[in-house]
Chains A and B, each alone.
Chain A
């Protein structure tokens, strides 16, 4: 059981380049999310998904795209990187609505540090 995995761990991009951050989970979780972490701002939600084929925007979705074709995978795409997207990115997953007392916390991947020059 690997939990939530993210690749790559580090990435440097030039302005205007595109890339995809990969995220996978093997816990059969319905919910998956992407957050970005910036100093003094905590973690902010970019996009999330409540199941395969369903995605929605979070607080800071501009400049990012997502898709969810399988339960396991939830990639985050940067179409044209900008310096403002320099950040640490976390993927997280959890079960959906559960009976009281069940496990409902979010499990986080190890994060990706992205620098855009």
Chain B
């Protein structure tokens, strides 16, 4: 079974600075997907960024980028030019290429200080 670990329960960053959230996972599969979801106080789960394991290039979405290290089974999220609206709980998630189930990490609560 796959597992996802987020070792940072809480992180904080100054507005306009850069922060990196860590995620590691364990799997015996070679083909899979990885996601970062954001959950603001509204509780809605919002997809931030996704990565397909077969792609070597790291995914980027505006101020959000990932560092995908397949051999190390690491998938960190970098938020550049942090904004107050980035404050939220962030979840890392794994999905097998052939399945539909998402396995989530425990979450990292990000605080952005003005």
User: A33 within 8 Å of B by Cβ?
Assistant: yes
What 1/0 mask marks residues of chain A from 96 to 114 whose CB sits below 8 Å from any chain B CB? 1100100011101011010
A104 touching B105, Cβ below 8 Å: no
Which of B4, B9, B50, B54 is the one whose CB lies under 8 Å from A100? Answer: B54
- Residues 81 to 103 of chain A near chain B (Cβ within 8 Å): 88, 90, 92, 94, 96-97, 100
A42 touching B106, Cβ below 8 Å: yes
A10: min CB distance to chain B, Å: 11
A111 touching B44, Cβ below 8 Å: yes
Residue of B nearest to A104 (CB): B33
In the bound assembly, the distance between CA atoms of A30 and B104 in angstroms comes to 21
Q: How would you classify the secondary structure of chain B's contact residues: helix, strand, loop or mixed? A: loop
B91 touching A100, Cβ below 8 Å: no
A12: min CB distance to chain B, Å: 17
Which of A43, A100, A110, A113 is the one whose CB lies under 8 Å from B102? Answer: A43
Residue in B35, B54, B100 with the greatest tally of chain A CB atoms within 10 Å? B100
Contact-size category for B: 20 to 34
Residue of B nearest to A41 (CB): B106
A33-B101, A104-B33 known; A90 vs B106 contact (CB < 8 Å): no
- Residues 1 to 30 of chain B near chain A (Cβ within 8 Å): 4, 6, 9
Query: A31 contacts which chain B residues (CB < 8 A)?
Result: 100
Q: Which 8 A-B pairs have CB atoms at the shortest separation, nearest pair first?
A: A31-B100, A42-B104, A108-B45, A43-B104, A42-B106, A111-B43, A105-B47, A42-B107
New A-B pairs, 16, CB < 8 Å, besides A104-B95, A106-B100, A110-B44: A31-B100, A33-B100, A40-B107, A42-B4, A42-B91, A42-B107, A44-B104, A48-B100, A48-B101, A58-B101, A92-B102, A94-B100, A100-B52, A100-B54, A106-B95, A108-B44
